[in-house]
Amino acid sequence: MTNIITIAGQKGGTGKSITSVNLAASLALSGKKTLLIDCDPQACATQWCGIRDLDYTCDITRVLSGRAKVVDAIVNTRINALSIMPAGFNLFQVALKLAKNSGNEKLLRFFLKDIEDDYEYIIIDSPSSYSFLSVTAMTAADRLLVCMSVHHNAIEDFHCLLQMVKYIRVTHEVPLKIAGLLFNRCDTAKQIESFMENQNLSDAKELVFNTFIPHDAAIKNSRELKIPVALHDIKSPAADAYLRAAGELDFFFKERGVL
């Protein structure tokens, strides 16, 4: 069974795109056949996944506009088990047209049925805010992995996200659930615990991953090189953390079941 996970978080700077790229890469390096889907016109995941030197002519824009099949928009990366469906800024223009019909928010979920059995994991990078594309990305998923940062206030954003999950469940009849909260740019687990208490999010602490992504210059360096951090420095604290987070996510689906 394929696990389709959208990386969510409604503020910029929480690390959605860098998490999408590195979590997908880590799952693939762990032997899981993985597809990364860039659903953001800024195309950060596309830029950072290591395909900048490859010549491809098809992306998610052509799929959502009905001009190409899903399989035609999938590009292999430097990691054997990792492929990506890239994006570009023209996705913004197509989204404006599609947003005129609320039923179009289910298009990506519909198209993924053609390929979902080919992958163990499909990771979707979504834009910030509640735009058509972010709702489309969440509607396509079975689970959300929520990126968090101790440097941003979270309680209002988290409650808005819960309302969006409820909206998608009711409006589109999708059994969307939250797989967990992953913290970026942290120093200690105690820092996360204090943050959850100060933000009145103690009721959600059971959703917090045991793994957190530390401050690490390797992340900035890999982003500048436009490759996953594991390809830049597999021994770095960040690479190790992403690999552990991938293992924790895989354990969740195998052992813990549905939250």
Q: What is residue 258's predicted lDDT score, i.e. its pLDDT?
A: 41
For the stretch 76-112, pLDDT in tens is 999 999 999 999 999 999 999 999 998 999 999 999 9
pLDDT mean over 39-45: 95
Q: What is the CATH number of the domain that holds 35?
A: 3.40.50.300
Pick 130 or 126 by higher pLDDT: 126
> What pTM, to 2 d.p., does this model score?
0.95
What lies within 8 Å, CB to CB, of 72 at 6+ separation is: 58, 62, 63
Is 143 part of a structural domain of the chain?
A: yes
What lies within 8 Å, CB to CB, of 111 at 6+ separation is: 63, 64, 70
Is 13 part of a structural domain of the chain?
A: yes
pLDDT mean over 154-173: 91
Please identify which residue in the block is written with the tokens 């996510």. 249
Sign of CA dihedral 76, 67, 100, 41: positive
Q: Identify the band that residue 259 occupies on the pLDDT scale cut at 50, 70 and 90.
A: very low
Domain that holds residue 144: 3-254
Distance CA 183, CA 14 (A): 8
Is 259 part of a structural domain of the chain?
A: no
Number of compact structural domains in the chain = 1
Pick from 139, 151, 83: nearest CA to 109: 139
